[in-house]
């Protein structure tokens, strides 16, 4: 007797300009032709895959070619996201599977992203092995990391044509084969351009966006006396006059920024005019209630250090990058920088880094008074000088280990006017909208 063939799975594909993560709904629906035009023009759009009769989508894909990004969410029947994929467009036509995250839920009533839901995260790199992070007890439990042996055939895929995207959820959720795609009807939805839709120009708070690299924020304001700023801990802060801490001689015209304990440095370099440049320390004043002795305390704390190259104002700020850094690979809000496990950074002449770094070791590790000049009451710690060239290194303290970005300010003509490292939390402008 011939066995009856399984009917397979029908999946409807619809398109929109955006996706509301909170409502799990498309925003500003598009026809397939409109989405194809946006794809060709490099405008962001989403593709939504649904099984007829199922309330939650099975898969949603965000495409944003200008951001070198394609994002993917897979949903279960309860409307919870179970898989995330972050693809990055590199070399013009290849997609790197940069990050994959998987959540396992204990049952149908477990909340999305429950703190105890086991997680596995794959973080892959273009030219090196990646990392697999296992969190079997969820986000608050311990993590175990191992090297990721992912074949190139799984790590990379060619950029698909508009209509050639694979249905990842078919594999993840084991949909019955064959999976048949058909166009979904375009209906008015959130943000639809209709006469009755009053919210046509209002983006939902939960709108899914492509990841963007971190930005400098208002770093120039840290050096502008009278500017009011705020943090979650201290809502009322006022910038005071920056403290000048002498100068730094960079005779080679190549500034280094790195931890002064790194003999292999410098990691970051920036071309500046050869010669001496001003060292400054940003200061901010604020008050707080001291619980220990029940009194109000007014204090002034440092927020950033700067090598000021020019009196011209900075009209733009950019991230200082090492040759191997690729901003297309950064996660949302992340930045490249220099690493330290001693809460210390340095500005220095890059060409003389080796002998200058050796003198730092002599001063810090062996207390050799001939190797360095100390600073008093400042985030700047010490200065070393290479006798023959006159090249200098000035070390400064930061408030934590880890990575710290350096921000390069440029004038309207594109010239470097300063380099800033924020040493603690970056405040926000108090009067910002």
Report pLDDT digits (tens) over 305-363. 999 999 999 999 999 999 999 999 999 999 999 999 999 999 999 999 999 999 988 88
Pairing of strands 9-20, 179-183: parallel
- Is the residue at 111 inside a domain? yes
Asked whether 41 and 33 are in contact (CB, 8 A), the reply is: no
Q: Residues 171, 46: one domain?
A: yes
Q: Residues 120, 244: one domain?
A: no
pTM as predicted: 0.89
Q: Residues 328, 402: one domain?
A: yes
Q: Residues 18, 162: one domain?
A: yes
- Is the residue at 3 inside a domain? no
**4 confidence band (pLDDT: 50, 70, 90):** very low
Compute the distance between CA of residue 137 and CA of residue 320 in angstroms, rounded to an integer: 38
- Is the residue at 404 inside a domain? yes
Asked whether 307 and 219 are in contact (CB, 8 A), the reply is: no
DSSP helix/strand/coil, 358:
helix
Determine what percent of the chain is predicted with pLDDT higher than 90. Answer: 78
- Is the residue at 242 inside a domain? yes
Whose tokens are 């001291």? That residue is: 290
Domain boundary (137, 165, 183) is at: 183
The total number of structural domains in the chain stands at 2
- Is the residue at 304 inside a domain? yes
Report pLDDT digits (tens) over 120-130. 999 999 988 89
Domain boundary (138, 161, 183) is at: 183
Asked whether 119 and 132 are in contact (CB, 8 A), the reply is: no
Q: Over range 67-76, report the average pLDDT.
A: 97
Q: Residues 160, 244: one domain?
A: no
- Is the residue at 24 inside a domain? yes
CB-based contacts of 296, cutoff 8 Å, min separation 6:
287, 288, 289, 290
Compute the distance between CA of residue 297 and CA of residue 285 in angstroms, rounded to an integer: 11
Q: Which helix (H) or strand (E) holds 155?
A: helix 152-155
Q: Residues 115, 22: one domain?
A: yes
Nearest Cα residue to 395 out of 352, 360, 359: 360
Nearest Cα residue to 395 out of 258, 219, 264: 258
- Structural domain range at position 68: 9-183
The three-point CA angle 22-26-28 to 5° equals 125
From residue 26, alpha-carbon distances to 20, 59, 106, 169, 206 in Å are 6, 12, 28, 18, 11
Q: Residues 175, 283: one domain?
A: no
């Amino acid at each position: 007797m011939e066995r009856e063939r399984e009917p397979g799975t029908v999946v409807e594909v619809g398109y929109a300009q955006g996706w509301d993560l909170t409502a799990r709904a498309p925003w500003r629906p598009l026809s397939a032709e409109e989405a194809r035009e946006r794809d060709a023009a490099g405008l962001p759009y989403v593709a939504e895959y649904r099984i007829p009769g199922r309330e939650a989508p099975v898969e949603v894909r965000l495409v944003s070619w200008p951001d070198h990004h394609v994002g993917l969410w897979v949903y279960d029947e309860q409307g919870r996201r179970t898989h995330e994929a972050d693809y990055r467009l590199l070399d013009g036509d290849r997609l790197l599977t940069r990050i994959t995250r998987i959540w396992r839920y204990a049952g149908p009533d477990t909340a999305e992203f429950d703190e105890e839901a086991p997680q596995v995260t794959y973080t892959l790199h273009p030219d090196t092995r990646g990392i697999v992070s296992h969190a079997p007890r969820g986000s608050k439990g311990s993590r175990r990391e191992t090297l990721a042996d992912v074949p190139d055939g799984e790590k990379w895929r060619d950029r698909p044509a508009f209509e050639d995207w694979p249905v990842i959820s078919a594999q993840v959720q084991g949909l019955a084969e064959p999976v048949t795609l058909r166009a979904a009807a375009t209906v008015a939805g959130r943000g639809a351009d209709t006469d009755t839709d009053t919210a046509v120009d209002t983006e939902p708070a939960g709108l899914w966006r492509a990841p963007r690299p971190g930005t400098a924020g208002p770093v120039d304001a840290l050096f502008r006396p009278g500017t009011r700023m705020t943090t979650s801990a201290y809502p009322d802060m006022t910038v005071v006059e920056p403290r000048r801490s002498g100068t730094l001689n960079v005779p080679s015209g190549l500034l280094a920024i790195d931890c002064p304990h790194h003999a292999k440095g410098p990691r970051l370099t920036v071309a500046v005019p050869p010669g001496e440049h001003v060292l400054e320390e940003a200061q901010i004043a604020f008050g707080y209630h001291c619980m220990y002795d029940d009194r109000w305390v007014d204090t002034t704390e440092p927020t950033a250090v700067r090598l000021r190259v020019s009196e011209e104002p900075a009209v733009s700020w950019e991230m200082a990058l090492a040759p191997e850094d690729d901003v297309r690979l950064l996660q949302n809000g992340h930045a490249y920088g220099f690493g330290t496990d001693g809460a210390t950074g340095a500005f220095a002449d890059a060409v003389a880094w080796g002998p200058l770094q050796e003198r730092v070791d002599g001063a810090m590790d062996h207390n050799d008074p001939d190797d360095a000049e100390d600073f008093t009451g400042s985030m700047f710690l010490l200065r070393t000088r290479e006798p023959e060239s006159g090249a200098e290194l000035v070390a400064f303290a930061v408030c934590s280990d880890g990575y710290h970005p350096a921000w390069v300010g440029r004038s309207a003509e594109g010239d470097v006017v300063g380099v800033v490292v924020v040493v603690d939390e970056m405040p926000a402008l108090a009067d910002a909208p």
